[in-house]
Amino acid sequence: MKTLTAFAAVICISLADDTALKEFTSGNNLFTTSIYKEIKKTTPGNFLVSPFSAESVLALVQGGAKDATALEMRDALHLPAAPETTQAAIKALHPQLKQTLYTLKTANKIYLKPGFEVRPEFRKVASEVFEAGLENIDFERKEEAAQAMNQWVEEQTEHKIQNLISPENLNSRTRSILINALYFKGNWSSPFKKFLTKEEDFYKNGKQVAPVATMKLQSSTKYYESEELKAKFLELPFEGGDVSMIIVLPNEKDGLEVLENQLEKTVELPQLAEEYVKVALPKFQIRSQFILKEMLQELGMKKAFKGEEADLSGIAGDKGDLVIDQVVQKTFIDLNEDGVEAAAATFVGVGIPLSGVVSTVTPKEFKADHPFLFYIKFKDLILFAGRVVDPTDSK
């Protein structure tokens, strides 16, 4: 598999940077549960969100926020107390994402209205920490600008995320569009045999039965049964060792809602033990799109969206000159016998305010024939999170 990343060579991470990365990862877990809960309020079916993609681009913006605006963004995103800690974590993380046995890459880009100058300090952090390229673009030529930005997103996500930005997202007030793109493709360490895949019943929404293509595997893998959560945890690693998929399956066919009410406990992974497990898992694809602005406001990030209160003066201008107009994310996942391909892209629009192992032991059984939730994580950092209610729905 060709290498698609362009990050620096592996570096020696200092103890300080390692501590920063742990703090960022802990906050990432909290943000995952917060944004998941907001999404489920309005999304009854399948969905996929990338908390890491959203945090990455919003952390870049937060680095240019000041005072109360910065504090609100920090708290809503569960970022470390000091922006320098967040930046140290991002800088330490990027080189680690490079691998040869799977493809995992993240990229940032900042588009600026011609003549709009950002502060040198912000430009330096964007370039040196977030590895973001800066490019001038005429937002008032809406169709051309949207096409150019969408082309960049497609290139970064192997054409899995398309039409992230609509021409309607751009207007005469737009001063900058900041984008994060995230892409992962990896093969299972123990692939499912295609000849074993067959249609089996899946209880959609925990009730309606429908035949779905179900993959089969018997393998030694990490597994845990939680009496407290009344659920089973299964970890399926990808080749390369650092990335894995965690599937959390409620014991009861209609138990997903009860499990989601204890979501924080599902990301605090128990000590999964190596077990010989008989796995049945449906193939599925999910495409999602979320307008995150209202969700972030519900999480307490309000001032950054209000013209009279927003202080993004660390990017450019003075307090009140700039405001976040919108935050939008698109995601994609395809899970099959070979592995998983997943992608996400998030953009933040910034503008001026409106005027005014094989064993003989009897295997454990993990039969995902009813709704479940899942995470894809790099080490302990959650890259993607979602749920499957109906595997036949690939929208």
For the purposes of burial, counting CB atoms within 10 Å of the CB of 375, is it exposed (0-12), middle (13-18) or buried (19 or more)?
A: buried
Q: Coil, strand, or helix at residue 121?
A: helix
pLDDT of residue 10: 31
Closest CA to 118 of 175, 58, 54, 57: 175
CA distance 225 to 234: 9
CA distance 306 to 41: 24
List the single range of 95-99, 224-228, 245-249, 353-357 with lowest mean pLDDT: 353-357
pLDDT of residue 97: 79
Q: At what angle do helices 67-77 and 15-42 cross, to 10 degrees?
A: 80
Tell me the per-residue pLDDT of 41-96, one tens digit each, with 9 for 90 and over. Answer: 999 999 999 999 999 999 999 999 999 999 999 999 999 999 899 999 999 988 88
pLDDT band at 318 (very low <50, low <70, confident <90, very high): very high
Task: Output the average pLDDT for the chain.
Answer: 90
pLDDT of residue 205: 78
Which secondary-structure segment (H or E) carries 259? Answer: helix 256-260
Q: Which two tokens stand for residue 59?
A: 């952390």
Neighbouring residues of 336: CB distance < 8 A, sequence distance ≥ 6: 192, 215, 283
275: which DSSP letter?
E
Residue 358 to residues 279, 284, 338, 379, Cα–Cα distance (Å):
14, 27, 20, 25
CA distance 382 to 78: 13
Residue tagged 């079916």 (tokens): 45
Q: What are phi and psi of 273, to 5 degrees?
A: -110, 150
CA distance 35 to 291: 12
Q: Which two tokens stand for residue 314?
A: 């660390």
**50 or 272: which carries more pLDDT confidence?**
50
The edge-to-edge listing of strands for the beta sheet with 132-136 is: 132-136, 103-112, 174-187, 339-351, 323-335, 284-291
The whole-number average pLDDT for the span 124-128 is 95
Which secondary-structure segment (H or E) carries 89? Answer: helix 83-96
pLDDT band at 4 (very low <50, low <70, confident <90, very high): very low
CA distance 246 to 370: 16
pLDDT of residue 98: 72
Tell me the per-residue pLDDT of 203-228, one tens digit each, with 9 for 90 and over. Answer: 997 788 999 999 999 999 999 999 99
SS3 letters across 110-138: EEECCCCCCCHHHHHHHHHCCCEEEEECC
pLDDT band at 16 (very low <50, low <70, confident <90, very high): low
Neighbouring residues of 82: CB distance < 8 A, sequence distance ≥ 6: none
Q: Is the pLDDT of residue 289 over 80?
A: yes
Q: Is the pLDDT of residue 293 over 80?
A: yes
| Residue 216 · residue 363 · CB < 8 Å | no
pLDDT of residue 118: 95
Tell me the per-residue pLDDT of 113-123, one tens digit each, with 9 for 90 and over. Answer: 999 999 999 99
Q: Is the pLDDT of residue 14 over 70?
A: no
Q: Which two tokens stand for residue 145?
A: 């600008």
- Per CATH, the homologous superfamily of domain 12-186+286-333 is Antithrombin, subunit I, domain 2 (3.30.497.10)
CA distance 314 to 121: 8
CA distance 167 to 180: 18
Which secondary-structure segment (H or E) carries 62? Answer: helix 51-62
Tell me the per-residue pLDDT of 366-393, one tens digit each, with 9 for 90 and over. Answer: 999 999 999 999 999 999 999 999 999 8
Q: Is the pLDDT of residue 303 over 90?
A: yes
pLDDT band at 18 (very low <50, low <70, confident <90, very high): confident
For the purposes of burial, counting CB atoms within 10 Å of the CB of 276, is it exposed (0-12), middle (13-18) or buried (19 or more)?
A: middle
The residue type found at 353 is: P
Q: Is the pLDDT of residue 280 over 90?
A: yes
Neighbouring residues of 251: CB distance < 8 A, sequence distance ≥ 6: 230, 231, 232
CA distance 332 to 232: 25
Q: Coil, strand, or helix at residue 68?
A: helix
The whole-number average pLDDT for the span 149-177 is 95
pLDDT of residue 360: 52
Q: Is the pLDDT of residue 357 over 50?
A: no
Pairing of strands 364-367, 372-378: unpaired
| Residue 183 · residue 383 · CB < 8 Å | no
CA distance 27 to 30: 5
CATH class for the domain made up of 188-283+360-388: mainly beta
CA distance 145 to 277: 51
Q: Tell me the domain boundaries of the chain.
A: 12-186+286-333, 188-283+360-388
CA distance 193 to 197: 7
Q: Is the pLDDT of residue 13 over 60?
A: no
Q: Which two tokens stand for residue 119?
A: 């502060």
